[in-house]
Amino acid sequence: MPIDARVTGANSAHAAMIGVSDFDGVLRGKHVLGEDLSDGDKVIKFSEAVLAWDCSDRVIPASFTQKRLSAFGDADLRILSGTGRSVSYVGDQYLYLAEFTGTHENICPRGILRKVLRRAADHGYGCAAGFEFEFMLFKENADTIEDKPFGEWAPLTRGPFGYSIARSVAHHELFGEILALCEKARIPLSGLHFETGPGVIEASLRHCDALEAADRAIIFKSIIKAWAQTRGMIATFMAKVSETLPGQSGHIHISMSSNGQNAFYDSEASDNVSKLMRQFIGGQLKYMNDFCVLAAPNFNSYKRLGPGCWAPICPRWGVDNRSSAVRVIPGEPSAHRLEYRLAGADLNPYLALACAIGSGILGVETDAALPASIVGDASEEMYLPSGRLPQSLSEATYRFAQSPAANDVFGARFVEAFSCSRRWEWEAVQHRVTDFERRRYFEII
């Protein structure tokens, strides 16, 4: 991809940042001073500890390195010159993405997605994708959310009012800043609107090459959080902020191409669903339970996957059916695609997309059968013998760790390392006693 002309010059040479994804999809990085990062990919040394930290910077005891906790060294990090872009609304602050290389490449989230995309390319297919994110804005800061209970936090808007034109007009300045920020960062949007729920906004990132789509997604989440702080707000991409509110999704739109044509499209087939698309969806459904933890990576993720939350419960598909885990969106060749609805907004873009495409490619390789599509509410099938999606991070992690298919697609070393990180995450939250438990049990039980 051509480098934006604005990336060259003194800013990129003397005050650029680099960012690399950890397992949680958080960009970790630093300023690199005195170098022109736009002049070809460079390999530098960077702490390998970011692949052994949890989201609160605690070192996972049984980490991938098999070293003592204090013995983390440096790893090779490739700075990707073509990813440089402005990430600040005011002024010029540039960010370049990076990825671990060498011995750490097979556990690097971006490296895992590249591995899956190579597998698709080996079959002659290119992949395009686009992410949709729902996020909540609160008129709070790091201090006030620490000092006040959640019920007293003030959202940007009160109550549900999805697709509200009135609110969009009232907050046109805010929307204008988001659009300008994304334009400056070369993250074009195809839609921006208020979603149902207090302070909830949905942004649809325009589709593009799959690896670039994941790059845009991880930068989008980071710059929205940073921008919100400059406005005296906090943005959250949690999958489920409150039990009384819908969850926040991170849907992924995917299409496959071959020889410049949409390989999912067949004008002679029912709903234009080609044989390849049937195999691809068949694989997504067949391996959804095994790979689920890649798209739902947190303890909180599974609180979104429940009835009445506009989120899937069972590995089912449907044509233009928003209750299903995979939604086929039929249309002309330029628009015909599927929507992978399993992931929440808390996803790691690289790993969630690797999950969605990797399972699909497995379906193509094995000619996976596709069950009948769901008409109506897919959650009604939650009690069938075929079962529902994993009910917890613990269950999903166990299935992933034991899956031969996961080892095949993602590699045994990554499966072991990521499973270790998710078991740690489960333990970090599972044994905490919450205020809800105290209110429910303290006097009565």
Tell me what pLDDT residue 6 has.
Answer: 43
Location of structure tokens 């926040």 = 248
Please count the structural domains in the chain.
2
Is residue 54 domain-resident? yes
Could you tell me if 77 and 120 lie in one domain?
A: no
Within this chain, do residues 122 and 66 fall inside the same structural domain, yes or no?
no
Give the domain CATH number at 89: 3.10.20
Contact of 191 with 114, CB cutoff 8 Å:
no
- Same domain? For 96 and 164 the reply is no
Look at residue 183 and give its three-state secondary structure.
helix
pLDDT for 159: 87
Cβ-in-10-Å burial (0-12, 13-18, 19+) of 52 comes to buried
In this prediction, residue 69 carries a pLDDT of 46
User: H/E element holding 219?
Assistant: helix 210-230
- For residue 369, give Cα distances in angstroms to 63, 128, 132, 281, 373: 38, 23, 28, 9, 12
Within a domain: 159: yes
Is 127 found in the same domain as 100?
no
127 and 215 in a single domain? The answer is yes
Token pair of 246 as six digits: 């819908």
Q: Strand pairing of 200-205 and 189-194?
A: antiparallel
Domain assignment present for 79: yes
CA count, 13 A, side-chain hemisphere, 370: 22
- Return the pLDDT at 63: 56
Choosing from 104, 132, 150, the residue where a domain stops is 104
CA distance 87 to 29: 14
| Domain end among 69, 104, 139 | 104
- Between CA 411 and CA 419 the distance in angstroms is 12
Residues 293 and 205 in one domain: yes
Residue 307 and residue 390 in one domain: yes
Q: Are residues 294 and 324 in the same domain?
A: yes
- DSSP letters along 133-170, please? EEEEEES--HHHHHHS-GGG--BSS-S--TT-HHHHHH
**DSSP letter string, 258-302:** ETTEETTB-TTSGGGB-HHHHHHHHHHHHTHHHHHHHHS-STTHH
CA distance 190 to 209: 15
- The answer to whether 298 and 289 are in contact (CB under 8 A) is no
Decide: 209 and 128 in contact? Cβ < 8 Å.
Answer: yes
Residue 211 lies in a domain: yes
Question: Rounded CA gap, 298 and 238, in Å?
Answer: 9
Mean pLDDT, contiguous 10-residue spans, the chain (445 residues):
41 73 96 82 91 89 54 88 88 90 94 98 98 96 88 90 92 94 96 93 97 98 95 95 90 97 96 97 97 97 86 93 94 95 97 98 97 84 70 97 98 95 93 86 87
**CATH no. for residue 387?**
3.30.590.10
- Answer yes or no: do 172 and 56 share one domain: no
In a domain? residue 109: no
Quote the domain boundaries for residue 420: 116-441
Judge if 178 and 82 occupy the same domain: no
Q: Does residue 132 sit in the same domain as residue 275?
A: yes
The pLDDT assigned to 64 comes to 55
Sign of the dihedral defined by the CA atoms of residues 7, 11, 13, 17, in that order: negative
Give the pLDDT confidence score for residue 319 in this predicted structure: 96
Last residue of a domain, one of 77, 104, 131: 104
Which pLDDT does position 382 carry in this prediction?
A: 61
Looking at the domain assignment, is residue 49 inside a domain? yes
CB 339 within 8 A of CB 329: yes
pTM, entire model: 0.93
110 falls within a domain: no
Those residues with Cβ within 8 angstroms of residue 297's Cβ, 6 or more apart along the chain or in another chain: 23, 24, 25, 346, 347, 348, 351, 393, 422, 425
Position 71 scores a pLDDT of 61
Q: Identify whether residues 129 and 166 lie together within a single domain.
A: yes
What pLDDT does residue 83 have?
A: 95
β-strand pairing of 85-86 with 16-21:
unpaired
Q: Is residue 271 part of a domain?
A: yes
